[in-house]
Amino acid sequence: QVQLVESGGGLVQPGGSLRLSCAASGSIFGTYVMAWYRQAPGKQRELVAAITSGDSTNYADSVKGRFTISRDGTKNTVSLQMNSLKPEDTAIYYCNFEKRLGVARYDYWGQGTQVTVSS
């Protein structure tokens, strides 16, 4: 029982920056992973960045050095700071929460927010 609310998408020029935020509410405890995915038209959804309940992070090779995933003051919120944006970053970005209870896995998704990088 988790709800995710995203914000921060928009239109920016190449080289610009955006900060996406995801606020989670509900049963946030134990072992979990929060992540950002993105999907461009005609392409499959891909993992962009992830952070675990133990604060380990990983990134897609295409965004390393440009994007940073972090928690903002509480484990119930996660942000994605996107710098040096490129046109190929254009996509709908989705916040994901995977809760782990033993062998069980529970996935929750935000509504998605559009990021457009264009001149």
pLDDT, one tens digit per residue, over 10-69 is 999 999 999 999 999 887 778 889 999 999 999 999 999 999 988 899 999 999 999 999
Q: Identify whether the C-beta of residue 35 lies closer than 8 Å to the C-beta of residue 20.
A: no
Quote the tokens at residue 90: 């254009």
Rounded to the nearest integer, the mean pLDDT of the chain is: 93
Q: Identify whether the C-beta of residue 4 lies closer than 8 Å to the C-beta of residue 23.
A: yes
Q: Identify whether the C-beta of residue 110 lies closer than 8 Å to the C-beta of residue 2.
A: no
Report angle CA 76, 65, 38 to the nearest 5 degrees.
Answer: 55
Please report which confidence band the pLDDT of residue 101 belongs to, taking 50, 70 and 90 as the band edges. Answer: confident
